[in-house]
Amino acid sequence: MQVFDNTMRRASRRASLRRGSISVLPQKSAEIPWDILERLLLPFLFCHAAALIISTLLHALDISHVSTFAVFVWFALSTVGAVLFYHFVKVSSYGKGVLITGCDTPIAWYLAKKLDDLGFTVYAGFNVPIDESDEAKILKEETSGRLKLLHLDVSSEKSLLEAAVYISEHLPDGAYGLWAVVHCAHWVALGELEWIPFGVLRKSLDLNLLGAARLTQIMLPLIRRSTGRVVFLTSGLSKIPAPVRGIQSATQAAIESFAGCLRQEMRQRGVDVSVVAAGELAPGNSWLNETELREQAKEMWAQLTSEQKKTYGEDYYEAAMTSLEKYSRETADIQPSLRVLIDAVSRTFPMARYTPVTAREKIQIFLAEHLPTALYEILFAEPKKRVRPQGAF
């Protein structure tokens, strides 16, 4: 396979982090505020229904001959103002602590920095030891003294318990508990099911699902004390079936289901649970790099049996795996995801599910959920993979 120079990529990433402002992040297109539109949808429908009923009664009782449209406009204007006020109300950041996992990734790194700028006490969890992380050192340099750095391996029970003890002993002054936990730590397993070793499947579940569930379980007593919230970063891919990404999509869907059940359990305790289902490239760019992608591909190919290698062929295998290179090469627009993650932490009334995606992704997710499977697969069939010459691996 083609060899890539990752030294320049790391240097470029460190340089971009040193600039220290989310305003420098590339933004490809204007963001569509799906959260606001979804918040307004039901009130608009109720306004229309109320306008029909009231105008009909006024006409029947010969009280007024005002049009249904005029009544609707009056109701809509009143409702929009009330809903937007409800949507944009923020909590005070003073004395509120927020734990963020996976701060090795750009989206979690910038989230930690922005929440610190807003006045929250941030506990930034890194998967690697702090003294080995350039990102951790830069983050500490560019934030206030409130921000705390943690080595937090979500697959390690010892690491999780140590983090819980540290946070409970270093809560903000006057705080009864932890305001929020934001799960951004993920590990990607790619490949068709027959290619992925069972150990890789287990690791994917441990890091993506079980680690998040166990950390939430440990932190819930602290979150309940402050009637805080839990936020899960997932991917819109969980709603879109696609080859090679099966395990990744499955773990993301599992997190969403877990979050939905947790939301019902915590409702009586005053704890909010939100899911941020980011666009296709935003989480992909945060989780993948070319080295990891190609190393995974080589390791899995080496572990296939002779019969499997003969059946699939090296050309097909490489074409399938390299079809995912866009997730490591294309620059993602993470600002929409970053904005709604901040909203999920700082708004008084957070939404249950945020979808910071493009219009195309929104339509495809809607069709994947509502169209008959056979029709959807015709409309969104995966293009036939083009193969490369033998010997690429």
Q: What is the pLDDT of residues 29-74, one digit of tens each?
A: 566 777 888 888 888 888 888 888 888 888 888 787 888 888 888 8
Kindly state whether residues 134 and 189 are assigned to the same domain. yes
The pLDDT assigned to 25 comes to: 52
Residue 5 or 127, more confident: 127
Tally the residues of the chain: 393
pLDDT at residue 134 greater than cutoff 50: yes
320-363 confidence digits (pLDDT tens): 777 766 665 656 678 888 999 999 999 999 999 998 888 888 88
The number of distinct structural domains making up the chain is 2
Structural domain ending residue among the three candidates 88, 104, 131:
88
pLDDT at residue 331 in the model: 61
Determine, yes or no, domain membership for 274: yes
Are 298 and 180 in a shared domain? Answer: yes
CA distance 104 to 135: 6
More confident residue, 298 or 125: 125
pLDDT at res. 11:
39
In terms of domains, do 70 and 168 share one? no
Taking the whole predicted model, whether its pTM rises above 0.85 is answered as no
- Looking at 69, 88, 107, which one is the last position of a domain? 88
**Structural domain includes residue 368:** yes
11 within domain boundaries: no
SS3 393: coil
pLDDT bin (cut points 50, 70, 90) of residue 150 is: very high
What's the pLDDT at 328? 59
Same domain for 141 and 184, yes or no, is: yes
pLDDT band at 215 (very low <50, low <70, confident <90, very high): very high
Q: Is residue 301 part of a domain?
A: yes
Same domain, 175 and 57: no
The reply to whether 66 and 98 lie within a common domain is no
Check whether residue 301 and residue 347 sit in a common domain: yes
Name residue 99's beta-bridge partners.
123, 181
In terms of DSSP bridges, do strands 272-278 and 229-235 run parallel, antiparallel, or are they unpaired?
parallel
Task: Specify burial of residue 370 (Cβ count, 10 A radius: 0-12, 13-18, 19+).
Answer: exposed
| Same domain assignment for residues 136 and 203 | yes
Mean pLDDT of the region 93-114: 92
Residue 15 lies in a domain: no
Residue 185's nearest CA partner among 231, 159, 154 is 154
Say yes or no to pLDDT of 385 above 60: no
Same domain, 84 and 217: no
119 Rama class: left (phi>0) / alpha (psi -120 to 50) / beta:
left
pLDDT at 30: 62
pLDDT reported for residue 388? 45
Is 17 inside any structural domain? Answer: no
Tell me the CATH number at 336: 3.40.50.720
- Across 36-50, 122-136, 169-183, 221-235, least confident range: 36-50
Please answer whether residues 352 and 273 qualify as being in contact, where contact means their C-beta atoms are separated by less than 8 angstroms: yes
- Quick one: which of 234, 231, 215 has its CA closest to 273? 231
Q: How much of the chain, in percent, has pLDDT values that exceed 70?
A: 84
Q: Is the pLDDT assigned to residue 18 strictly greater than 50?
A: no
What is the Cα–Cα distance from 377 to 369, expressed in whole angstroms? Answer: 12
Is the same domain home to 197 and 207? yes
DSSP codes, 301-322: HHHS-HHHHHHH-HHHHHHHHH
What is the residue range of 84's domain? 34-88
pLDDT recorded at residue 21: 38
**Residue at which a domain ends, from 56, 73, 88:** 88
74 and 93 housed in the same domain: no
pLDDT at site 390: 43
Mean pLDDT (the chain, rounded): 82
pLDDT > 90? residue 256: yes
Q: What's the rounded mean pLDDT across residues 259-288?
A: 81
Residue 25 covered by a domain:
no
pLDDT confidence of 147, banded at 50, 70, 90? very high
Residue 207 lies in a domain: yes
The whole-number pLDDT of residue 334 equals 83
Q: Are residues 71 and 148 in the same domain?
A: no
pLDDT number for residue 183: 95
